[in-house]
Amino acid sequence: MDTIDFKLVAIGFVTGIINGLFGSGGGTLIVPVLVFLVKMEDFEAHATAISIILPLSIISTIMYLKSNIIKFNIGYVVAIGGIIGGFIGAKFLKRIPNIILRKIFGVIIIITALRMIIG
């Protein structure tokens, strides 16, 4: 049996807290951590992050359901676009060179951060 890597558990713990507090967003933390600390290839980190975020999102969704704060009429419509976009993104992920993928991801993170800071 493999031993537990407590560094990875700690990364998951922090990602879970961020996911629970901000309604996802854990991917913005987990991808760079997997690339720079765990030394994964970018495309592997993105794919692994999705598989990590799924159970976190399920748990968060259950908690939000209990609080009755989900706007299903909006969620369903956005989910349809997200499913289509997720399929297309996953198909193209391995075809995009790491340097381009990093730049796209970095620009998105910077724009998101600026929008949150500026309001």
Confidence category of residue 1, pLDDT binned at 50, 70, 90 = very low
How much is the pTM? Answer: 0.70
What is the distance between the alpha carbons of residues 100 and 28, in angstroms, rounded to a whole number? Answer: 17
Q: Please give the single-letter amino acid code of residue 50.
A: I
What is the distance between the alpha carbons of residues 23 and 31, in angstroms, rounded to a whole number? Answer: 17
What is the distance between the alpha carbons of residues 99 and 53, in angstroms, rounded to a whole number? Answer: 24
CB of 28 closer than 8 Å to CB of 112: yes
Higher pLDDT, 76 or 3: 76
Q: What is the pLDDT of residues 6-42, one digit of tens each?
A: 888 988 888 888 877 876 667 778 888 899 988 999 8
Tokens of 43: 């495309």
| pLDDT(112) > 70 | yes
